[in-house]
Amino acid sequence: MTSADFARNRDNFCYRHPGTQSFVLCQRCMRTICADCQTQAPVGVICPECLKAQRKAESPAQRRARRQSRSMAAMFAGRPPTVTAAIVILTGFIGLLQMIPGIGNEITRALMFFAPSLYPSLNGGVSEPWRLLTPLLVHGGFFHLALNMLALYVIGRSLEPMLGKWRFLALYLISGLGGSVAVALISPLTPVVGASGAIFGLFGALLVIGRKAGRTSPGSW
Ligand SMILES: [Zn+2]
Ligand SMILES: [Zn+2]
């Protein structure tokens, strides 16, 4: 084939834009379409006419699902996970302070959860209820911190835009609180550090929301 033949061959031009060269075919009608005319389909691309025909053939339920997934995508786009980022930065910062010899242990001791410190009679006459939440900020070493923050980031990136900032933060704190209460009941003499309880709660919420949205696992978020 010479280049002149090539230029004359209508199959190498978009059927809707005869001036635009293309080698991509619509997967439904097999006509050539240019980049402007392509819509991503499950397999390959389809042309605007086929897209229209396909949408006409959709059942009302299919149409509703398509609209819903589009509006959900629009809703979540442009909502950066600020609370997630703030928690990761704050916790990471305190994790760094914990590694400083001398003051590191003091910080850990000041923030960790230890059930007896809730009871004035066991704690020199003072109750320290903030310890139900502060263990979220301290970790038992670099890997504990790194793994928890990685998990928090991965889950928060999906979950925070769905819940909104404040509900996400509330869920994080309530889950963390629940973790401390569970430790106080199950193993009251074990001092605890780490955000694992809170992250577990977030993960549970993600599973529930994922199932409600008709997905089998949160992996596709
Ligand atoms: Zn087509
Ligand atoms: Zn075109």
What is the structure's pLDDT at 209?
Answer: 83
> Whose atoms come closest to the Cα of 54: which ligand?
1
Residues 43 and 145 occupy one common structural domain: no
- Which residues share a beta bridge with 107? none
Residues 87 and 154 occupy one common structural domain: yes
Cα separation, 28 vs 48, in Å, equals 11
| Whether the Cβ atoms of residue 46 and residue 54 lie closer than 8 Å to each other | yes
Residues 90 and 192 occupy one common structural domain: yes
Residues 26 and 121 occupy one common structural domain: no
What is the structure's pLDDT at 123?
Answer: 86
- How many A from CA of 127 to the centre of ligand 2? 72
Residues 87 and 53 occupy one common structural domain: no
Cα separation, 10 vs 76, in Å, equals 43
Number of domains observed in the structure of the chain:
2
Spans of the chain, pLDDT less than 50: 216-221
Residues 134 and 101 occupy one common structural domain: yes
Residues 130 and 205 occupy one common structural domain: yes
Residues 13 and 106 occupy one common structural domain: no
Q: Which helix (H) or strand (E) holds 46?
A: strand 45-46
Cα separation, 217 vs 159, in Å, equals 14
> Whose atoms come closest to the Cα of 44: which ligand?
1
Residue 191 inside a domain? The answer is yes
Residue 196 inside a domain? The answer is yes
> Whose atoms come closest to the Cα of 41: which ligand?
1
- How many A from CA of 34 to the centre of ligand 2? 4
What global pTM score does this model have? 0.63
What is the structure's pLDDT at 85?
Answer: 94
In 10 A of CB 71, how many CB atoms?
10
> Whose atoms come closest to the Cα of 34: which ligand?
2
> Whose atoms come closest to the Cα of 28: which ligand?
1
Indicate the DSSP class of residue 124: T
Residue 71 inside a domain? The answer is no
Cα separation, 38 vs 51, in Å, equals 9
What is the structure's pLDDT at 89?
Answer: 95
What is the structure's pLDDT at 210?
Answer: 77
In this structure, what are the phi and psi dihedrals at residue 188, rounded to the nearest 5 degrees? -65, -15
Give the range of the structural domain holding residue 10, as residue numbers without chain letter: 3-57
Residue 76 inside a domain? The answer is no
Residues 51 and 150 occupy one common structural domain: no
Cα separation, 80 vs 165, in Å, equals 9
- How many A from CA of 191 to the centre of ligand 2? 67
- How many A from CA of 48 to the centre of ligand 1? 7
- How many A from CA of 28 to the centre of ligand 2? 15
What is the structure's pLDDT at 3?
Answer: 64
What is the structure's pLDDT at 217?
Answer: 46
In 10 A of CB 212, how many CB atoms?
8
- How many A from CA of 52 to the centre of ligand 1? 9
Instruction: Please give the structure tokens belonging to residue 152.
Output: 């928090």
